[in-house]
Amino acid sequence: MSSKTLMNTMFLLFILIWLVGLSNGECEFKAIFNFGDSNSDTGGFFSAFPAEGPPFGMTYFKKPVGRASDGRLVIDFLAQAIGIPFLSPYLQSIGSDFKHGANYATLASTVLFPNTSVFVSGISPFSLAIQLNQMKQFVAKVTEADQKDMKLPSPDIFEKSLYTFYIGQNDFTSKLADIGTGGVEEFLPQVISQIAATIKVRVIYVYY
Protein backbone atom coordinates (compact mmCIF):
# COMPACT_ATOMS: atom_id res chain seq x y z
CA MET A 1 0.00 0.00 0.00
CA SER A 2 1.43 3.41 -0.96
CA SER A 3 1.89 6.14 1.64
CA LYS A 4 -0.77 8.28 -0.03
CA THR A 5 -3.28 5.43 0.01
CA LEU A 6 -2.48 4.64 3.64
CA MET A 7 -2.91 8.26 4.71
CA ASN A 8 -6.22 8.52 2.86
CA THR A 9 -7.43 5.27 4.41
CA MET A 10 -6.58 6.49 7.91
CA PHE A 11 -8.34 9.79 7.31
CA LEU A 12 -11.48 8.12 5.98
CA LEU A 13 -11.48 5.71 8.93
CA PHE A 14 -11.31 8.64 11.33
CA ILE A 15 -14.22 10.38 9.58
CA LEU A 16 -16.26 7.17 9.63
CA ILE A 17 -15.74 6.69 13.37
CA TRP A 18 -16.62 10.33 13.98
CA LEU A 19 -19.82 10.10 11.94
CA VAL A 20 -20.89 6.91 13.71
CA GLY A 21 -20.41 8.67 17.03
CA LEU A 22 -22.52 11.62 15.90
CA SER A 23 -25.28 9.35 14.58
CA ASN A 24 -25.62 7.76 18.02
CA GLY A 25 -26.35 11.19 19.46
CA GLU A 26 -24.25 10.47 22.56
CA CYS A 27 -21.26 12.77 22.08
CA GLU A 28 -21.53 14.41 25.47
CA PHE A 29 -17.89 15.29 25.85
CA LYS A 30 -17.07 17.66 28.71
CA ALA A 31 -13.63 18.64 27.45
CA ILE A 32 -11.12 18.34 24.60
CA PHE A 33 -7.42 17.59 24.94
CA ASN A 34 -5.61 18.27 21.70
CA PHE A 35 -2.15 17.29 20.43
CA GLY A 36 -0.84 18.79 17.21
CA ASP A 37 0.97 21.37 15.14
CA SER A 38 -0.03 24.68 13.51
CA ASN A 39 -3.24 23.14 12.15
CA SER A 40 -4.65 23.13 15.70
CA ASP A 41 -2.36 25.42 17.74
CA THR A 42 -4.48 27.99 19.59
CA GLY A 43 -1.52 29.91 20.99
CA GLY A 44 1.08 27.51 22.36
CA PHE A 45 3.95 28.37 20.05
CA PHE A 46 3.50 32.12 20.28
CA SER A 47 3.27 31.84 24.08
CA ALA A 48 6.75 30.31 24.05
CA PHE A 49 8.12 32.43 21.19
CA PRO A 50 6.11 35.69 20.95
CA ALA A 51 6.33 36.96 17.37
CA GLU A 52 2.89 36.99 15.79
CA GLY A 53 1.21 39.86 14.00
CA PRO A 54 -1.36 40.63 11.28
CA PRO A 55 -2.95 39.13 9.26
CA PHE A 56 -3.28 36.37 11.88
CA GLY A 57 -6.71 36.47 13.49
CA MET A 58 -8.06 39.30 11.36
CA THR A 59 -11.22 37.71 9.90
CA TYR A 60 -12.81 36.47 13.13
CA PHE A 61 -10.99 37.63 16.24
CA LYS A 62 -9.97 40.98 14.68
CA LYS A 63 -6.51 40.63 16.19
CA PRO A 64 -3.77 37.99 16.50
CA VAL A 65 -4.76 35.36 19.10
CA GLY A 66 -2.02 32.77 18.77
CA ARG A 67 -3.33 30.92 15.72
CA ALA A 68 -1.35 30.60 12.48
CA SER A 69 -4.53 31.52 10.64
CA ASP A 70 -6.61 34.58 9.84
CA GLY A 71 -9.59 33.01 11.63
CA ARG A 72 -10.74 29.92 13.49
CA LEU A 73 -9.24 26.44 13.19
CA VAL A 74 -10.94 23.05 12.94
CA ILE A 75 -10.37 22.55 16.68
CA ASP A 76 -12.24 25.82 17.33
CA PHE A 77 -15.26 24.66 15.32
CA LEU A 78 -15.15 21.31 17.11
CA ALA A 79 -15.19 23.01 20.51
CA GLN A 80 -18.13 25.17 19.46
CA ALA A 81 -19.97 22.12 18.13
CA ILE A 82 -19.87 20.30 21.47
CA GLY A 83 -20.63 23.46 23.42
CA ILE A 84 -17.38 24.30 25.19
CA PRO A 85 -15.13 27.40 25.05
CA PHE A 86 -12.14 27.62 22.72
CA LEU A 87 -9.21 25.62 24.11
CA SER A 88 -6.55 27.45 26.09
CA PRO A 89 -2.98 26.58 25.11
CA TYR A 90 -1.12 24.66 27.80
CA LEU A 91 1.89 26.98 27.48
CA GLN A 92 -0.09 30.18 28.01
CA SER A 93 0.57 31.43 31.54
CA ILE A 94 -1.94 34.31 31.66
CA GLY A 95 -5.64 34.11 30.86
CA SER A 96 -5.90 30.34 30.43
CA ASP A 97 -8.92 28.37 31.57
CA PHE A 98 -8.51 24.59 31.55
CA LYS A 99 -11.97 23.76 32.87
CA HIS A 100 -12.93 22.23 29.52
CA GLY A 101 -9.59 20.86 28.38
CA ALA A 102 -6.20 22.00 27.18
CA ASN A 103 -4.34 22.37 23.91
CA TYR A 104 -0.78 21.01 23.73
CA ALA A 105 -0.34 21.71 20.02
CA THR A 106 2.34 24.11 18.85
CA LEU A 107 3.13 25.44 15.42
CA ALA A 108 5.84 23.47 13.55
CA SER A 109 5.66 20.46 15.89
CA THR A 110 6.66 16.99 14.74
CA VAL A 111 5.66 13.48 15.75
CA LEU A 112 9.25 12.33 16.13
CA PHE A 113 11.70 14.11 18.40
CA PRO A 114 13.50 16.84 16.39
CA ASN A 115 17.27 16.70 16.01
CA THR A 116 17.52 20.41 15.31
CA SER A 117 16.73 23.74 16.94
CA VAL A 118 13.78 26.04 16.30
CA PHE A 119 16.33 28.80 15.72
CA VAL A 120 18.03 26.77 12.96
CA SER A 121 15.19 25.05 11.12
CA GLY A 122 12.01 26.55 12.57
CA ILE A 123 10.91 23.16 13.92
CA SER A 124 9.19 23.37 17.31
CA PRO A 125 10.90 21.71 20.28
CA PHE A 126 7.46 20.53 21.48
CA SER A 127 7.23 17.20 19.67
CA LEU A 128 4.40 14.72 20.27
CA ALA A 129 6.34 12.99 23.06
CA ILE A 130 6.81 16.33 24.84
CA GLN A 131 3.12 17.12 24.44
CA LEU A 132 2.24 13.75 25.96
CA ASN A 133 4.50 14.47 28.95
CA GLN A 134 2.77 17.83 29.36
CA MET A 135 -0.55 16.01 29.44
CA LYS A 136 0.75 13.60 32.08
CA GLN A 137 1.90 16.54 34.19
CA PHE A 138 -1.47 18.23 33.76
CA VAL A 139 -3.32 15.11 34.96
CA ALA A 140 -1.04 14.87 38.00
CA LYS A 141 -1.49 18.55 38.87
CA VAL A 142 -5.28 18.35 38.51
CA THR A 143 -5.37 15.31 40.78
CA GLU A 144 -3.35 17.12 43.44
CA ALA A 145 -5.02 20.53 43.09
CA ASP A 146 -7.54 22.21 45.35
CA GLN A 147 -10.91 21.56 43.69
CA LYS A 148 -11.94 25.13 44.49
CA ASP A 149 -9.66 26.30 41.67
CA MET A 150 -12.19 27.43 39.07
CA LYS A 151 -9.68 27.33 36.21
CA LEU A 152 -9.05 23.58 36.50
CA PRO A 153 -11.37 20.64 35.73
CA SER A 154 -12.46 17.96 38.17
CA PRO A 155 -10.24 14.84 38.24
CA ASP A 156 -12.94 12.73 36.56
CA ILE A 157 -12.97 14.94 33.46
CA PHE A 158 -10.36 12.81 31.69
CA GLU A 159 -12.78 9.91 31.24
CA LYS A 160 -15.38 12.26 29.74
CA SER A 161 -13.13 13.99 27.23
CA LEU A 162 -12.40 13.90 23.52
CA TYR A 163 -8.73 13.42 22.61
CA THR A 164 -7.68 14.75 19.22
CA PHE A 165 -4.46 14.42 17.23
CA TYR A 166 -3.66 16.65 14.25
CA ILE A 167 0.06 16.27 13.62
CA GLY A 168 2.58 14.71 11.24
CA GLN A 169 3.02 16.95 8.23
CA ASN A 170 6.18 18.64 9.54
CA ASP A 171 7.96 15.31 9.90
CA PHE A 172 7.81 15.02 6.12
CA THR A 173 7.97 18.58 4.82
CA SER A 174 11.04 19.38 6.93
CA LYS A 175 12.95 16.46 5.40
CA LEU A 176 11.55 16.39 1.86
CA ALA A 177 14.39 18.38 0.29
CA ASP A 178 17.01 16.07 1.82
CA ILE A 179 15.47 12.60 1.44
CA GLY A 180 13.03 13.01 -1.47
CA THR A 181 9.65 11.33 -1.86
CA GLY A 182 11.16 7.85 -1.68
CA GLY A 183 12.70 8.63 1.68
CA VAL A 184 9.42 10.05 2.91
CA GLU A 185 7.63 6.79 2.08
CA GLU A 186 10.22 4.83 4.08
CA PHE A 187 9.89 7.33 6.93
CA LEU A 188 6.09 7.05 7.15
CA PRO A 189 5.90 3.84 9.27
CA GLN A 190 8.01 5.44 12.02
CA VAL A 191 5.65 8.39 12.25
CA ILE A 192 2.53 6.24 12.30
CA SER A 193 4.08 3.91 14.89
CA GLN A 194 4.86 6.84 17.19
CA ILE A 195 1.32 8.23 16.89
CA ALA A 196 -0.14 4.79 17.65
CA ALA A 197 2.16 4.36 20.67
CA THR A 198 1.16 7.79 22.00
CA ILE A 199 -2.54 6.97 21.69
CA LYS A 200 -1.96 3.66 23.50
CA VAL A 201 -0.14 5.38 26.37
CA ARG A 202 -2.88 8.01 26.56
CA VAL A 203 -5.59 5.35 26.86
CA ILE A 204 -3.69 3.41 29.52
CA TYR A 205 -2.94 6.58 31.48
CA VAL A 206 -6.59 7.67 31.56
CA TYR A 207 -8.46 4.42 32.01
CA TYR A 208 -6.12 2.20 34.03
Task: Band the pLDDT of 156: cuts 50, 70, 90.
Answer: very high
Q: C-alpha distances in angstroms, 199 versus 67, 137, 161, 168, 202?
A: 25, 16, 14, 14, 5
Task: Band the pLDDT of 204: cuts 50, 70, 90.
Answer: low
CB neighbourhood size of 17 (10 A)? 10
Cβ(104)–Cβ(90) below 8 Å: yes
Q: Residue 27's pLDDT is what? A: 66
Residue-averaged pLDDT of the chain: 86
- Does residue 186 register a pLDDT over 90? no
pLDDT digits (tens, 9 = 90+) for 86-106: 999 999 999 999 999 999 999
pLDDT digits (tens, 9 = 90+) for 98-155: 999 999 999 999 999 998 888 888 899 999 999 999 999 999 999 998 777 678 999 9
- pTM summary value: 0.85
Higher pLDDT, 66 or 9: 66
- Residue ranges per structural domain of the chain: 30-207
Q: Residue 135's pLDDT is what? A: 96
Euclidean distance between CA atoms 84 and 162, whole angstroms: 12
Task: Band the pLDDT of 207: cuts 50, 70, 90.
Answer: low
Higher pLDDT, 179 or 36: 36
Percent of the chain having pLDDT more than 90?
Answer: 63
Contacts of 3 by beta carbon, 8 Å cutoff, 6+ apart: 184, 185, 188
Q: Residue 206's pLDDT is what? A: 63
Q: Residue 26's pLDDT is what? A: 58
